[in-house]
Structure 1
């Protein structure tokens, strides 16, 4: 499969090269020249298939020329060894729980699959690489867990100082070995800019074999389509149109849902639900894209993104046609106060506890369904509530249970290197440690 740059300047490359380059030299994003469409029989019979079987069919459509099917099956079974259940919360209301992996966040799907695929290619060629990744919260923990002790891969994670939860920070600063953390005195957008600038520094990139594990990397995006197809397979028997509401920051998650849609998955609508960093909902309303700089801090911190990196991909999936995007995606944005009300509403009405990001997805779904006929509504839960425990407990007014694997992190010692937002300082650090 060939992939092109959304900026249309760099030459097309194969999927292996796209994965290791991360970004094209023209600062675009890699996209498949065409999205493979799975046969209708796959979607009709998907309810008889397991998550790993569904994942294999989707992955094979992209990787079959580079990875033999049996090898790909082994990679998937190793990487995706946890469930993604669609839990019934109310009548025709479901929560797609994506926090059952090692870091208890949806990004385990992308990070673990990507680590497995990268390691597969590297071991075949006896190569080593250095991963650079920016995180607004959950990416860091998922990448740290996914790549921890992976042969031939060194990982450096950049995160914004004071803008991730304690548990999120501990997940990416306590592993050590091949995983290092940089605490950047700035926003997520500053972290992302440092990483992007490093990738555009051709001398540095070539010298140190740099690669990315952010959702800007196509290998992170493709496996996120797995759980959309899996949710569809479990809910299609309800006989109602399906609506997915996606808590959105960098818009990789929603882009993955659209990839599944373009592969043939029947979906009535996607809801792009954001916090007050409402760049895309405003775009869907006006047709004008106006980044927010700097991004605004909220209690749904993983979505505090003022200039979503994956927005060009989202546009490209619809041929850069605004009317087509608007026809399939509707956007809503919510304040912290509205988010807190939603957390309480879900607990009071359904005895269901969620993190702030999940609450925003619920709000978007609830508000969209007000004006349409009956549908099966699915809101995505991108992280376990315990990763945002102080905020959730403050809203609900009491102590909540913490999964053992997260509770163990709290007592561990944080190890992180401080970093400014200046690229020169970041480059000097890389030259020193790599």
Structure 2
């Protein structure tokens, strides 16, 4: 498979080159030259297929010939090891629980897949620096996926005070080849610094950079797999319903997850609608309503992983629909909600359904409550992180002491190792060049 830039001003590259480069030189995003459509036999077998098998069939066309069939099978067997159950919450509404991986967040899938790809592609003896901006779960997933990997250094930028305490502990306490950098600013500032690093000629001369945000195709593409899995499990539980009578609601921040779901639809997955469910950072719902895409400064909310005012992956969605607003509208529905409604629905669903939502999944759940009566389909919402990752908020809402799962307890009471910088590229450059050291707290 070859990949081109959404800005169309950079050369086409192979999967391997796209993974290592992270971003094209023209500051666009890599996008597959062709989108394969899977055969009817695949969808007939899908309800009974295991996750690694689904992953192999979905991803093989994108990774060939850079990964052999044997290599891809080995990676899929290693990455897709944890369960992703589809849980019925109430009549015709299901939760796809994506938080059973090592860091209790859906980003474990993409981070682990990308880590294995870079290990397969990295040049021996030439160190690679993986640069990533996070608004919460990306940092912990990438840190876990790359921890201890030889010849790869990871630098994680995050907004100082802009992630939950548990999320911060997950990527600031590891040491080894993981370096956390707290930026005085918001997530969009961190994201802008990462992009500036990739376009800096001086850094390019002296070091090999790659990105682990969902802008990287190896982070983005594997997210398709659980959409196929979700549909297969829904069909297994509802064999008598029309196969395309389902809507998937996606809590969205940087929009890589939704872009992956829409790419799965392009490959033949019979999902009727997707919902772009956001918090007060509602740039994309506004676009869906008006046709005008206007990035804005991000606003802090209870669903911090979605606090993104300039979503990086949205150009991929526009590319998928040939920049046609009406075409996007026909498939993607927009939704946004404020914090108070999020808090209320977490309490209500916990009391009435005995199901605990995290703030991000709660927004997706609320979007289904609004849309399903008119869409007349079943609904699946993505529960993207364990509620305990937002323990402070959940405890305040429910008036309880939310227990931490074992994966999260492992990070407690360890010293944090963080480099604090201003929103200034020269300070990030100093970090990357090894001229600033972390402080312990």
Q: Same fold (TM over 0.5)?
A: yes
Give the Å deviation of 1:370.
2.4
How far does the alpha carbon of each residue in 1:229-263 deviate from its partner, in whole angstroms, 9 at most, with x for none?
00111112412411100000000000010111111
2:45 partner SS: helix
1:402 partner SS: coil
How far does the alpha carbon of each residue in 1:113-146 deviate from its partner, in whole angstroms, 9 at most, with x for none?
00001101126x5543110000000000000000
Give the Å deviation of 1:433.
5.1
Q: Distance in 2 between matches of 1:160 and 1:12?
A: 33
Paired position in structure 1 for 2:207: 208
**Larger displacement relative to structure 2 (87-96 or 393-402):** 393-402
When the two chains are superposed, the root-mean-square deviation of aligned CA atoms in Å is 1.2
Paired position in structure 1 for 2:439: none
Paired position in structure 2 for 1:420: 422
**Larger displacement relative to structure 2 (264-273 or 61-70):** 61-70
Mapped pair 1:148 → 2:152: no
Contact 2:24 2:30 in 1 (8 A): yes
Mapped pair 1:249 → 2:253: yes
Q: Distance in 1 between matches of 2:39 and 2:435?
A: 49
Q: Distance in 1 between matches of 2:168 and 2:28?
A: 29
Paired position in structure 1 for 2:311: 308
Paired position in structure 2 for 1:184: 183
Q: Distance in 2 between matches of 1:78 and 1:433?
A: 36
Mapped pair 1:9 → 2:20: no
How far does the alpha carbon of each residue in 1:378-411 deviate from its partner, in whole angstroms, 9 at most, with x for none?
0001100000011011111212222122123221
Of 391, 394, 401, the residue aligned with 1:392 is 394
Give the Å deviation of 1:51.
0.8
Give the Å deviation of 1:33.
1.1
**Larger displacement relative to structure 2 (197-206 or 45-54):** 197-206
Give the Å deviation of 1:22.
0.6
Give the Å deviation of 1:331.
0.5
Mapped pair 1:338 → 2:341: yes
Paired position in structure 2 for 1:326: 329
Give the Å deviation of 1:40.
1.5
CA distance 1:292–1:12, shift in 2 (3 Å): same
Q: Structure 2: which 5+ residue stretches go unaligned? A: 437-441
TM-score, L = length of structure 2: 0.96
Q: Distance in 2 between matches of 1:205 and 1:341?
A: 49
Paired position in structure 2 for 1:281: 285
Give the Å deviation of 1:203.
2.9
Paired position in structure 2 for 1:107: 107
Q: Distance in 2 between matches of 1:62 and 1:33?
A: 9
Give the Å deviation of 1:290.
1.2
Contact 2:6 2:316 in 1 (8 A): yes
1:183 partner SS: strand
Q: Structure 1: which 5+ residue stretches go unaligned? A: none
How far does the alpha carbon of each residue in 1:344-401 deviate from its partner, in whole angstroms, 9 at most, with x for none?
121122110011001001011111112232x221000110000001101111121222
Paired position in structure 2 for 1:429: 431
After the TM superposition, which parts of structure 1 deviate over 6 Å for at least 4 consecutive aligned residues?
none
Give the Å deviation of 1:86.
0.7
Paired position in structure 1 for 2:195: 196
CA distance 1:312–1:175, shift in 2 (3 Å): same
Give the Å deviation of 1:90.
1.1
Q: Distance in 2 between matches of 1:93 and 1:127?
A: 49
Give the Å deviation of 1:429.
2.1
TM-score, L = length of structure 1: 0.97
Paired position in structure 2 for 1:266: 270
Q: Distance in 1 between matches of 2:322 and 2:205?
A: 32
Mapped pair 1:86 → 2:86: yes
Paired position in structure 2 for 1:64: 64
Paired position in structure 1 for 2:360: 357
1:347 partner SS: helix
Q: Distance in 2 between matches of 1:38 and 1:130?
A: 35
Q: Distance in 2 between matches of 1:204 and 1:95?
A: 44
Contact 2:104 2:407 in 1 (8 A): no
Give the Å deviation of 1:425.
1.5
